[in-house]
Chain A
């Protein structure tokens, strides 16, 4: 069992770029590890540094901008598309984020995030644009994500929107349950299925 999540109130890092693919989140050359740890330092590697040189951070990239920090990453439409590499979710979580907010997530990334207790919060395009504009004018703004009430709030204005999550996944995340725990507890049903289906 892992540590569950519920209310996350934090400043955020806005990344107003559409179609962010998992090759950008963690480039393929960093996938050679055989463990799950330490991917955070290479998060958005090629967007953060000139010519792969850590002494040359790109100043205009939000993750390098000291005014932006926090546990919430806010990204534009179709975040996490492309490769199925779970290393992308590991990298974001390892870099200290607990929530990613976007108007649209790619399927596999969304599942990978949920499996790592990194909460993907899907908001309307309108609400997303509102968040971006709030952070443009006030980088120290805070957001509050409440899993129990399935809401996300912009603290200063109180503007709130609700988000969807299945009852099953919500229970898992609140209590720290993994899918694998559930599947392992279903072995009897699985074996019965196999017998009935001639495996």
Chain B
């Protein structure tokens, strides 16, 4: 990994003789006004909302006696708190039901489109935005959810906000924002066999840590990024928040444009041509300056897995947990706490460790491409006896497509349980929890203590590494099992 730090602050406007970054081009276009020595009023194009972080915002509006300012720019779905079986039945748990019903009531009162339970577009908010063509290049997008960074894969500024900010956007379609510093992470070269985009982002995290990009907007660039599908790009931008980044983004190209074309809410006819003209201006100029640049060789990236309790604690699957003498003195207490939680010793090998649960889902890896990849690997195989495997599609549309392609049958024959769309065991808000003390390989984004249930132990990995663990019941190296001819380069 190479690194350059520039002392030229991004606070200087790009007009001073240097080119603009992708971020700056979009940012400047959305500034309504700027307060001296303070934040800017930033206009927001699209606002996604869900049941968990919006009720208090609507309550705030009602208290002030004001209506949603631009309801046609708000899209709602129910995802965090919904069951993933028997979605046609009323939600059993009262608090969850009330929250979902409150969203329904608020959307009806304020004229907001809701893709709630039972709707053919329902799903995880960061899966449905892109698949419906709502997410487009050059936009500003927010949602009361940190993984809003996912949308940045289309070349836009997309970031998570708190509930007070949800209220601000509902009330004015704007936010008070200070311009972040700018970072570019360049990944050049060809990815190794069995290495997916999830491995790329876990690798970056293992190098720069869970706070390595705090205060920065991060652009991912380079030939390895360009070679990725939109689904794979979304996985990387999704986890940019795990580095602390304000947002993650990738410049739009033909892959982006092809993906959007023809989707439900994609522009059509003359409007499409107009948008294309704008989208083609969205890249960082050759002489653009970043506050920090990091260079990574794609060949250095291995299939990754996490061993600790934050997403920066990752290693190649063949590697070992750091020994105590590899850890900085000040970081030792946190490191030891983390390993005690996981039930492991410093220096231990992860490969071969027993796995109890496999969770394939979440806004990181629950798209059709993820399900296809898992299916192509498990076809004709059966899960290990003592492993429970949950596959939770990201949306009703992903679920429908999986059934149309026969993927559901492959999972059924493999002993995998295909559930209904939602956030599910990524955060265990509904009943999909990993029991205390059990080990779960998860394609989600956070291995925090208790994230998947009190005292549940999470290892983050790619869908392929998760699929392999489902079959063998242990952590393994996909490269040893996956024939090169079968490789679908994610």
| Interface mask (A1-40 → B, CB under 8 Å = 1, otherwise 0) | 0000000000000001111010110011101111110000
Given A23-B446, A32-B81, verify A186-B172 contact (CB < 8 Å): yes
| Interface mask (B138-177 → A, CB under 8 Å = 1, otherwise 0) | 0000001110000000000001111111011001111110
Residues in B whose Cβ lies below 8 Å from that of A31: 52, 80, 429
**Which residue of the partner chain B has the closest CB to A115?**
B164
**Which of A62-70, A81-89, A139-147 contacts its partner?**
A81-89
Q: Any chain B CB within 8 A of the CB of A51?
A: yes
**Which residue of the partner chain A has the closest CB to B161?**
A84
Residues in B whose Cβ lies below 8 Å from that of A116: 164
Q: Any chain A CB within 8 A of the CB of B474?
A: no
| Interface mask (B326-346 → A, CB under 8 Å = 1, otherwise 0) | 000011011001000000000
| Interface mask (A82-115 → B, CB under 8 Å = 1, otherwise 0) | 1111110100000000000000101110011001
Which one of B144, B333, B446 lies within 8 Å of A16 (CB-CB)?
A: B333
- A19 and B162 contacting across the interface, CB-CB below 8 Å: no
- B171 and A27 contacting across the interface, CB-CB below 8 Å: no
List residues of A (30-80) whose CB comes within 8 Å of B's CBs.
Answer: 31-36, 46, 51-52, 76-78
**For the side of the interface on B, what is the size category?**
35 or more
Q: Any chain B CB within 8 A of the CB of A155?
A: no
- B37 and A168 contacting across the interface, CB-CB below 8 Å: yes
Q: Any chain B CB within 8 A of the CB of A130?
A: no
Q: Any chain A CB within 8 A of the CB of B427?
A: yes
| Interface mask (B68-99 → A, CB under 8 Å = 1, otherwise 0) | 00100000000011000000000001011011
Which one of A19, A179, A197 lies within 8 Å of B210 (CB-CB)?
A: A19
**Which of B38-46, B299-307, B409-417 contacts its partner?**
B38-46
How many Å lie between the Cα of A34 and that of B161 in the bound state? 17
Residues in B whose Cβ lies below 8 Å from that of A87: 163
- A89 and B210 contacting across the interface, CB-CB below 8 Å: no
How many Å lie between the Cα of A186 and that of B168 in the bound state? 12
| Interface mask (B420-439 → A, CB under 8 Å = 1, otherwise 0) | 00000001110000001000
Residues in B whose Cβ lies below 8 Å from that of A169: 38
How many Å lie between the Cα of A118 and that of B160 in the bound state? 19
- B176 and A183 contacting across the interface, CB-CB below 8 Å: yes
Given A17-B334, A24-B449, A86-B164, verify A189-B32 contact (CB < 8 Å): yes
Q: Any chain A CB within 8 A of the CB of B229?
A: no
Residues in A whose Cβ lies below 8 Å from that of B168: 179-180, 183
How many Å lie between the Cα of A77 and that of B211 in the bound state? 9
- B41 and A46 contacting across the interface, CB-CB below 8 Å: no
Q: Any chain A CB within 8 A of the CB of B362?
A: no
Which one of A17, A24, A76 lies within 8 Å of B448 (CB-CB)?
A: A24
Q: Any chain A CB within 8 A of the CB of B102?
A: yes
**Which residue of the partner chain A has the closest CB to B41?**
A186
Which one of B80, B174, B448 lies within 8 Å of A21 (CB-CB)?
A: B448
Residues in A whose Cβ lies below 8 Å from that of B164: 86, 112, 115-116, 178-180
B165 to A: closest C-beta gap in Å:
7
Residue pairs across A and B with Cβ atoms less than 8 A apart, 26 shown, are A19-B211, A19-B310, A23-B449, A28-B428, A29-B428, A36-B163, A46-B449, A78-B210, A81-B211, A83-B427, A84-B146, A84-B160, A84-B161, A86-B53, A106-B244, A107-B180, A107-B246, A166-B38, A167-B36, A169-B38, A178-B164, A179-B164, A179-B168, A180-B172, A183-B41, A190-B174
Interface residues, chain A, CB within 8 Å of chain B?
16-19, 21, 23-24, 27-29, 31-36, 46, 51-52, 76-78, 81-87, 89, 104, 106-108, 111-112, 115-116, 129, 166-169, 178-180, 182-184, 186-187, 189-190, 193-194, 197, 199
Closest 7 CB pairs of A and B: A168-B38, A86-B162, A32-B95, A112-B162, A34-B55, A115-B164, A84-B160
